[in-house]
Structure 1
Amino acid sequence: MATLLYRLGRASFRHRKLVIALWLAVLAAVIAAMSLFGGVGKLNDDFSIPGSESQQALDTMGREFPGTAGTSAQLVFTAPAGQKVTDPRYAAVIDQTLAGAAKAPQVVKVTAPAKAGTVSADRRVAVAQVSYSVVKDDLDSTSLDKLDATAAPARAAGLDVDLGGAALGGGGAQPGAQDLIGVGVAVIVLAITFGSLLAAGMPLLTALVGVVAGVAGVLSLTGVAAISSTALTLALMIGLAVGIDYALFILTRHRSQLAQGDEPEHAAGLATGTAGGAVVFAGLTVIIAMAGLSVVGIPFLTVMGLAAALAVFAAVAVALTLLPAILGFAGRRLAPKPGSRADLREQAVVAGPKNGKAVNAGEKWVRLATAKPWLTVLAVLAALGALAWPAKSLTLALPDNGSAPAHTSQRAAYDTIDKAFGPGFNGPLIVLADTSGAANPQQAAGTIAKDLGALPAVAAVAPPSLNDASNYAIVQVVPKSAPDSKATQDLVTTIRDKEAAIAKETGASIRVTGKTAVSIDVSAQLSSALVPFGAVVVGLSLLLLLVVFRSIVVPVKAALGFLLSIAATFGAAVTVFQNGHSQSLVGADGATPIASFLPVVVMAVLFGLAMDYEVFLVSRIHETYHHTRSPLNAIHTGARHSARVVTAAALIMISVFAAFVHSESMILKQIAFALALGVLIDAFIVRMTLVPAVLALTRHAAWWLPGWLAKRLPDLDIEGDRLTHNPQPAGPATAPAEAHR
């Protein structure tokens, strides 16, 4: 593979004008496709599981109760302290507001508080229900604003009016200014790493090309697939982070070769053949892991994984072709200037330590970690174990309006309803009864409502509503507990378990649905898929690293390190979001469950990134050991060559992910926090501390492989050993003027 990539790098260098023209054509094509077939306006933030009980019931409700097919909103009226919404002057302006709301765009029905039974016991709060003709993603951009404007008379009269409900829910968020923050930090890290603005700009340029290609490709599919704004932003985050990192790895090797006197074309080919091999492996692991989300069987998660995989594929393709082409235009200008800090650093790395002292900070750190490896291993295990401990109480749910930022209208509405009516009123359950088999449908529906109302965990049950054909009835059940609580999950299970008894008593069958039930079903399926998916990811890492490093210890150590990183990341997420500690650091307001799909998404992404750092760090160690057979010296030498670039890559990843932590989307906030912290833990604590200590403990055994297995495994030569020790002919010399363009 190294030889093939070497030739690809040299060909891209030599035919740089053609390569750049082809990439410009690709960008033009995907942007045109996005404009013609997709776009941001067609994003869909519906998180559901087709085929689940709750979704099947929703589909039936859409057919049998047309008024319930669309989304809904709430107008929450609050009277000043000591006064009541039922006072004549307030009642009049509420009626005026509701009359205006009924005429608002796309509204099909407005249910007054008195009819809905949503006036608080102290008469200070009243909630009106507003039903729309379309689902949330089909609402016009101005519909909610115009609904909110109808409350002007009520606000002028002194009432507080908050707009809430499912129409304002959802955790999606589109890219914004936070993207630029991550890019800004990346510029600083790259400038410090290379000591050259020209060199620092190249990874950013190529990464942006990859991001545009990947994101435009994703957006071009919104016309034929349900793609959420969270999927788009995840693709942007990952595409930008890996795009910069992959270019960084190749460019670092290219400059190192130039510093040693290589011709630019040969240096570009060698960098693509060596570091490019690790890029291919790292990118492939991320792509496989993200595409592997499709095995969970949830469409929105499948789309999310494939969107991220497409962005990573674009990043790999750009790094292997466009970057060598751009290197061709830079020529020798990328070589560190003689006597500069970058040049002295490169020469010191090549020369090795003097008087047994470490050359750079990376080597110093690894020498410290390997001085007493047992102590290092125990310290890391204790620290990560303590961080991971809270993960045992991990609770999954889809974030709702209760996790929205405190300054938003939907959060104010949610909190007001919680305080005035109880937590369950923010997440009522809908029981759909099929009464076609009942002798008396009306009586059967009434019996079902009475039986459900007798359950200890139920706060209230609304009178049943039958459709025109009287073959279906809707019963709204209000739990005593919050929508995302364990008690509400148990209530859903209890109601479903009563189906047989209700059918025997009334002749009607029931199904539980509604937004809360859909969230519970999504969380349950994702929870059940977490262990199998984790087994697939860990098994894949074992297999891939076995082939790459031809060792038993290295893959096992890498897989266990990955599990430690994941456990510690989940524990920290539970501590901050679920338990509510140090929330000011992430801009959260109040404790909230972990987003249902965060564990599998974070596992998939961190798996690829963990293998990324594993390959770049351990490949240098393996290469040195292969030629010196000195385990400890190989560890120190590998750190001397690769610790700086791994550090820079990790810092860029962390900055890109961390820039999204203060997003107003709770889903995106949690994913960004977990990825930023996960990279921090995996890169610096696991890969650059634990891994060298374990290799120091196992010494020669770390590179042992049974002979029978060695004969059967392919030799991929990821490190480019054949290239560096059997260099390819440089080919026809490049003209000086051309080489320095």
Structure 2
Amino acid sequence: MAELLYRLGRLAARRAWAVIAVWGVILVLTGVGFLVGFKGLTTNFDIPGTASGAVAEKLQEQLPDFAGASGTVVFETTDGSAFNDDQRAQIGSLVAGAGELPDVADVIDPFEAEQQRADREQDVVDGRVQIDAGRAQLDAGQAGLDAGRAQLAAAQTQLEQAWLQPDQPLEQLAAYEQQQAQLDAGVVELDAQQTTLDDSRSQLDQDAEELELGAVLLDLSAGIRVVSEDGAAALVNVSFSEPRMELPAESQQAVMDHFESEPVDGARVSFSSDIAQTVPQLIGMGEIVGVGFAAIILLVMLGSVLAAALPIVTALVGVAIASLGALSFSGVIQMASVTPFLGVMLGLAVGIDYSLFVINRHRRQLLEGAEVRESIGLANGTAGNAVVFAGTTVIVALLALNVTGVPFLGLMGTVGAVAVAVAVMISISLTPAILGLLGERVLGRRARTRIGQAHHEDTQARPMPTWRAIATVLAAVAVLLILAIPSLSMRVGLPDGSVEPVESASYQAFTATEENFGAGANGPLLVTATLPEGLDRPGVLGAQVGVARTLAGQDGVVGVAPIAVSADNSLAAFQVVPTGGPNSESTEQLVRDIRSMPPHNSGVTLGVAGQAAINIDISENLADVLPTYLAVVVGLSLLIMILVFRSILVPLIATGGFILSLFATYGATVAVFQWGWFAGPLGIATGPILSFLPVILVGVLFGLAMDYQLFLASGMREAYVRGASARLAVARGFRAGRSVVTAAGLIMVSVFGGFVFSESTMIRSIGFGLAFGVLIDAFVVRMLLMPALMHLLGRAAWWLPRRLDRILPNVDVEGTALARRHHG
């Protein structure tokens, strides 16, 4: 590999313009692909096979009107007074026009909804009056019938007594028969009237029962409102025809544009995150500032504007190619909004670092007197070889995200891996080409005067005192463990409006809804109930009441409202408003309680959907796959490091240090984003940790940690192989690699740190986690803990079983053999 990269470096330096042209063509092609294939990104996340997903599928089959995405438009009066008639009319007009928007299935006028509720309440009152009047009328009718029967009975008795009189003429007997026929007819008539009255009473009883059941449902839903009690706020519920994962961002934007098109006098409007959460800008001011800091670090280290600009230029080219290429497939593959951000973060960070490694090696060789093209080839064969192995470790860790079984995570990992792969290819081809054009100008003027005078500094290195090594290990481990303490209380979830920027529409809608309607109105649950077969209307109503009472009886429920029953009466849907918000512990517990209920009366089974339930499902699934993913990543990378370092203990030290830094990073992230430490100055609202952040941090940080491990430990191994004692080799390797690793670490912290100021809360937490993780791992684990442990282990650090030593191929990561062949 080293020899191949050496030749590639020399070829690129000799054919610089051809190499630049090839990369230029690739950039243009990816740009064209983007223009043709980009179809937008989704702001939602989903995992197949979840409990809420099964409920959504059932709704799609039997109640499709309730299977689509939904959101709320929040109106508030600016002075806190109740909406007046003109304002109600303006909002009603906007609601009426919204039904024609793309992918909008239904829009509910809150004032009409509250009026309908008031009408139903009045209908119950009127119905009870009518029922009472009907019963009184039936009772009067029954009394009349009873009196008629008494009269007929008396007449029958008189007639029977007359029949008993002796010696009556035939004419009189004929009259008696006629009277008897009249009495029998009267009895028949009374029986018919009794049947009619009984039927009326039965119908009245049924009506009364349905009325009372409806009244029960109305009472159970009393806590659910769409107009606040003071009349100063209103919620417009918008239902979409498309599921949330398939809802185009254009449809969400159309809703916002429509309701903002005609401002309501004396009122303000905001939108829930289901509508307002749009795709954030890929590059913002924070990211630009981060790259600016990286440029300053490069300038300080390299001492030349040209040399400092080169890694940034090549990194930007790589980011552009990887990002545009990935986005070109958004029309074929559903892509979450955070997917390209991971590629941009990694592309910038590793792109700058990897080019820096090659440039730094080339500059050092130039100072030693090497010819330009020969130096470029050697730098590519040595530092470039290390870059390839380091990049491979990162790529393996990122591609392993596909083993989680979570589609959007696997896609994020794949896009990130592509960005890293492009960065590697650019660093070993485009970077040597530009270096060939720059010649000795890659050195500053003052540095060029010292060409041929440089000497190796590793001879000045001295092993650290053993007491210092012991103290360093104890102090580093103590710091990492203390930082990890907050991770024990980590709660994960997906961000809601409460953690969005204060000035955003999502935050304003969330707070307005919570203040006027309660926290649970921001995350209502959608509960389905499978009903027994053969139920008629009264049976369905009774089943609804039974389910609603059961749900209302759970802890943490504000109200329950039936919203639909399927055409075949087999599935009923309910809206359940919890007391807590979508990310509260009480809401999580409520979802679990409902799902754990045994089948209700007559075999009724319950299911839970809704944004809060979906968030819980995603978070739990990701938490379940984290150990598996960690085992896969660590296992694969251990094999790579054993191959590279030809040691058992060095990879174990590297892995153990990573686990410590990982949990320290988890702890710091919890302290800032969940507990709120330093959140104010950073403009961060607290809440649960982004559910997929722990998994992302495992993949990315492990790969980057192994990068720095490789660049430091490979120098130690090189010194050890050349005959230095084990402890002296640690000192020499550390001294040789510390400056470039320090610069590379600071560059990554700067680039990742720039994303902390993104407009998206999700991007902020990812940027913070990666920046802090690199800071801790590079400067505490790799530059303090690892060298101290290597010093304490001495020769044992490089122990490898003989049988394994014979099997493993000899991988010369640093290209030591190449350097000896070509550079003495």
Q: Same fold (TM over 0.5)?
A: yes
* SS in structure 2 of the partner of residue 644 of structure 1: helix
CA contact (8 A) 1:432 1:511 kept: yes
One-letter amino acid of the structure 2 residue matched with residue 22 of structure 1: V
Give the direction of change, closer, same or farther, for the CA distance of 1:162–1:271 in structure 2 (3 Å limit): same
2:456 to 346, 350, 360: 350
1:14 & 1:434 partners in 2: Cα distance? 73
Identical-residue share of aligned pairs (%)? 41
Partners of 1:82 and 1:217 in 2: CA distance? 50
Q: Which amino acid aligns with 1:3?
A: E
Task: Note if contact 2:367-2:451 (Cα within 8 Å) is conserved in structure 1.
Answer: no
Maintained 8 Å contact 2:98/2:255: no
Letter in 2 for 1:179: E
Q: Which moved more, 1:2-11 or 1:402-411?
A: 2-11
- Whether 2:213 is the aligned partner of 1:216: answer no
Provide closer, same or farther for how the CA distance between residues 21 and 170 of structure 1 changes in structure 2, counting only shifts above 3 A: closer
- Check the 8 A contact 2:457/2:736 in 1, yes or no: no
> Separation in 2 of the partners of 1:624 and 1:343?
29
| 1:96 to partner: Cα distance | 4.3
Residue in structure 2 matched with residue 57 of structure 1 by the alignment: 55
| Local SS of the residue matching 2:313 | helix
Per-residue deviation at 1:538? 2.0
Answer whether contact 1:294 1:305 (CA < 8 A) is retained.
Answer: yes
What secondary structure does 1:672 align onto?
A: helix
- Structure 1 position 174 matched with structure 2 position 282: yes
Measure how far apart 1:422 and its partner are.
2.0
User: 1:581 corresponds to which letter in structure 2?
Assistant: W
Number of positions where the alignment pairs a residue of Structure 1 with one of Structure 2: 707
Q: Residue 5 of structure 2 aligns with which residue? A: 5
Q: Which deviations, in whole Å up to 9, do the C-alpha atoms of 1:209-263 show, x marking residues without a partner?
A: 2112111110111111011221111111111111111010011111111111112
Per mean C-alpha deviation after superposition, the further-off stretch among 75-84 and 265-274 is: 75-84
1:547 aligns to what? Answer: 643
Name the CA distance, whole Å, in 1 between partners of 2:565 and 2:14.
74
Q: Once the two structures are superposed, what CA deviation does each residue of 1:292-322 show, in whole Å capped at 9, x if it has no partner?
A: 1111111111111111111111111111112
Residue 263 of structure 2, aligned match among 145, 152, 167: 152
Aligned equivalent of 2:546, options 436, 443, 447: 447
Q: How does 1:720-731 map to 2 (within 5 A)?
A: 720-727=815-822
Map of 2:65 onto structure 1: 67
> For the residues of structure 2 that align with 1:150 and 1:34, how far apart are their CA atoms?
31
Cα-to-partner distance string for 1:156-191 (whole Å, 9 max, x where unaligned): 1x3343332511236865333333222222221111
Does residue 323 (structure 1) correspond to residue 421 (structure 2)? The answer is no
Whole-angstrom CA distance in 1 between matches of 2:705 and 2:92:
59
The one-letter amino acid paired with 2:655 is A
Relative distance call for 1:8 and 1:165 in structure 2 (3 A) is: closer
Contact 1:163-1:413 within 8 A present in 2 as well:
yes
3-state SS of 1:152 partner? coil
The structure-2 alpha-carbon separation of the partners of 1:685 and 1:585, relative to structure 1 and needing over 3 Å to count, comes to farther
SS of corresponding position for 2:558: strand
Distance, in Å, in 2 between the alignment partners of 1:89 and 1:67 is 31
Query: Structure 1 pair 482/145, CA: closer, same or farther in 2 (3 Å)?
Result: closer
Structure 1 counterpart of 2:710? 615
**What amino acid is aligned across from residue 149 of structure 1 in structure 2?**
E
Superposed, 1:494-573 pairs within 5 Å as 494-498=593-597, 500-502=598-600, 505-573=601-669
1:7 is matched by which residue type in structure 2?
Answer: R
Q: Which amino acid aligns with 1:204?
A: I
Match of 1:276 in 2: 384
What is the one-letter code of the residue matched to 2:587? T
SS for the counterpart of 1:493 is: helix
1:183 aligns with 2:291: yes
Equivalent position of 1:291 in the other structure: 399
**More displaced 10-residue stretch of structure 1: 410-419 or 443-452:** 443-452
Indicate conservation of the 8 Å contact 2:440/2:448, yes or no: no
Alpha-carbon displacement from aligned partner over 1:580-635 (angstroms, at most 9, x marks no partner): 1110243213x211001001111111111100000111111111121133233222
Q: Deviations over 1:521-540 (max 9, x none)?
A: 11000001111111222222
1:125 corresponds in structure 2 to: 233
Could you tell which deviates more after superposition, 89-98 or 26-35? 89-98
The SS at the match of 1:350 is coil
> Cα distance 1:77–1:42, how it changes in 2: closer, same or farther (>3 A)?
closer
Tell me how large the CA RMSD over aligned residues is: 2.5
Counterpart selection for 1:683 from 770, 778, 791? 778
Aligned partner of 2:344 in structure 1 is: 236
Q: Could you tell which deviates more after superposition, 413-422 or 654-663?
A: 413-422
Contact (CA 8 Å) 1:151, 1:161: kept in 2 or not?
no
The alignment partner of 2:765 has SS state of helix
| TM-score calculated relative to the size of structure 2 | 0.81
Give the CA deviation at 1:69: 4.1
Letter in 2 for 1:465: A
Larger Rg: 2
| Alignment partner, residue 427 of structure 1 | 523
Question: 2:599·2:605 contact (CA, 8 Å) conserved in 1?
Answer: no
Change (3 A) 1:370 1:101: farther
Q: Provide the secondary structure at the position in 2 that maps to 1:42.
A: coil
Q: 1:298 to 1:529 in 2, by over 3 A?
A: same
1:194 partner letter: L
Determine whether 1:670 maps to 2:670: no
Residues 1:400 and 2:496 aligned together? yes
Out of 671-680 and 342-351, give the one that drifted further. 342-351
**Could you tell me whether the CA contact under 8 Å between 2:41 and 2:249 is conserved in 1?**
no
2-structure distance, mates of 1:65, 1:147 = 27
Q: Deviations over 1:494-527 (max 9, x none)?
A: 11112x422xx14443321111111111100000
1:256-281 CA-partner distances (Å, limit 9, x unpaired): 11111112222111111111121111
In structure 1, C-alpha distance between the alignment counterparts of 2:425 and 2:343, rounded to whole Å: 16
Q: Secondary structure of 1:546's match?
A: helix
Using the alignment, how far apart are the partners of 1:621 and 1:2 within structure 2? 19
Which residue of 474, 491, 500 corresponds with 1:378? 474
Gaps of 5+ in 2: 115-224
TM-score normalised by structure 1 residue count? 0.90
The 1:226/1:67 distance shift into structure 2, 3 A limit, reads same
The one-letter code sitting in structure 1 at the alignment partner of 2:570 is N
1:97: Cα distance to partner? 4.5
Deviation of the 1:651 alpha carbon: 1.2
Aligned match of 2:699: 604
The one-letter code of the counterpart of 2:257 is K
Give yes or no for contact 1:245–1:652 (8 Å, CA) kept in 2. Answer: yes
What is the distance in 2 between the residues matched to 1:310 and 1:127?
Answer: 44
The answer to which of 612-621 and 197-206 deviates more is 197-206
Q: Residue 647 of structure 1 corresponds to which residue in structure 2?
A: 742
- Tell me, in whole angstroms, the C-alpha distance in 2 between the residues paired with 1:370 and 1:595: 42
Cα deviation for residue 341 of structure 1 reads: 5.4
Q: Which residue of 2 aligns with 1:29?
A: 29
- Look up the match of 1:143: 254
Structure 1 residue 401: deviation in Å? 1.2
Distance in 1 separating the partners of 2:416 and 2:61 = 35
Displacement of 1:105 in angstroms is: 5.6
Kept in 2, the 8 Å contact 1:173–1:229? The answer is: no
1:142 Cα deviation (Å)? 4.5
Distance (Å, rounded) in 2 between the aligned partners of 1:80 and 1:13: 67
Distance 1:307 1:32, change over 3 A: same
Partner of 2:752: 657
Give the C-alpha shift of residue 652 in structure 1: 1.1
Offset at 1:345?
11
Question: What corresponds to 1:737 in structure 2?
Answer: none
Alpha-carbon distance in 2 for matches of 1:594, 1:30:
35
Q: Deviations over 1:542-578 (max 9, x none)?
A: 2221111111221111001101110111000000000
2:555 aligned with 1:456: yes
Report SS of the residue matched to 1:77.
strand
In structure 2, the CA distance between the partners of 1:617 and 1:256, relative to structure 1 (3 Å rule), is same
SS at structure 2 position matched to 1:580: coil
